[in-house]
Amino acid sequence: MNIEDFENLISYSKITGNQDNGLVSFAAYKGRESIISEIIKRNHLENISMSEFIEISKQCMPAIQAKKKLREKKIADFTNLTTEEISKLSLEKKVEYLETIFHKMLTREELTGFCSKNSDKLKALLCGIQLPKDFWNKEEQQADRFVALVVHDHQIKDNMKNWQNLSLDDKKATIQATAKVLEYVYKTSLEIGFYTADEYRKENNLDEKAHVDGAYEARGKIFFNTDRLEGSDNYMGVSVVFHEFMHKRQQETDFGDPLISRLFNCKAYAAVDYERREVNPSLPEYGDIYSLMPGEVHAYSMQKYVEDQIANKTGIKKTQEQVSKTTKNLHNKSFAMAAVSRYKSI
């Protein structure tokens, strides 16, 4: 077994031994099922004994420990930098630091410890990331094709104009119609799912008052919160679908620049989990990390671009969404950060 497979195996599955038959089992963590299944098949681990697995561990652990020491040194080097020094780093160096800090074996305790001690430095690292001008130009060219089809789709336009009077089923149908346009423009498949806030909390073992997003992307599929759809603005069925689709693209698309692919595929979103757990939503700094994430800068910037283009071509003004003050502030901050980042790349 190669080192990467072993590292993924111990990072993304719960490993247990059966005392009766002496065999080892690997229970994949949520969202990692396909990765673990492929590793098991590729390395013939279906009926591996505990003694055989211990032998593999002995072979792989020295390399794992060496990588850990190198990683710890790089993280120490980062924490010794000033925020000004961090802001002047090259894009390649910034990506390298993100990959090093948010590695696959990072524990929750390590994440909390790093983010709580280095919040300002992490923000300086994220804030200084500028996507190339050529990248934005290509993204907007493709978005223009999407907009052109949407503004000529009479059903989508009529539903946007009458959004507040639509039934939930009609709003869902608008989202599905938008997904079809995206499939055509970007030559890919797009699956849409719907959930209630209570269903999401139950599935993710959250308390009854926990915040639930209006929409999210996971493993290439986009999910919409039907509770939020009821009071959503008239662009949700189009531009928010587009926003979440950008996250799917970030994971699946070859942008022709290895640095951009590495940037979108690193595990930096773990810092957002920390922010949501540890930072009080009533504080002004809540959402800073989220809004600075390269994936969100890209998604919010392209969402705003699409909204502006549709509004200019159809005259359909965006209505107000019925959301909490915290959610509204988070959205406003994210759109603002995206606009600043996009402006700096010009």
Whether residue 104 is predicted with pLDDT greater than 90 in this model: the reply is: no
pLDDT by residue (tens digit) across 187-206?
Answer: 999 999 999 999 999 988 88
Q: How far apart are CA 342 and CA 133, in angstroms?
A: 8
Q: Which residue has the higher pLDDT, 19 or 300?
A: 300
Mean pLDDT of the chain: 93
Q: Where are the domains of the chain?
A: 1-69, 133-189+229-344
pLDDT by residue (tens digit) across 54-78?
Answer: 999 999 999 999 999 999 999 999 9
The answer to whether 130 and 344 are in contact (CB under 8 A) is yes
Whether residue 346 is predicted with pLDDT greater than 70 in this model: the reply is: no
List the Cα angle 337/343/344 in 5-degree steps.
Answer: 90
**Percent of the chain's residues with pLDDT above 70:** 100
| Longest alpha-carbon distance in the chain | 70
280-308 average pLDDT score? 95
pLDDT by residue (tens digit) across 135-159?
Answer: 999 999 999 999 999 999 999 999 9
pLDDT class of 80 with cuts at 50, 70, 90: very high
pLDDT class of 19 with cuts at 50, 70, 90: confident
22-30 average pLDDT score? 92
The interaxial angle of helices 108-117 and 270-278, nearest 10 deg, is 70
pLDDT, residue 235, reads 96
- Could you give the C-alpha distances from 164 to 85, 138, 322, in angstroms and in order? 49, 34, 11
The answer to whether the Cα torsion of 244, 151, 237, 174 is positive or negative is negative
pLDDT class of 116 with cuts at 50, 70, 90: very high
**Percent of the chain's residues with pLDDT above 90:** 83
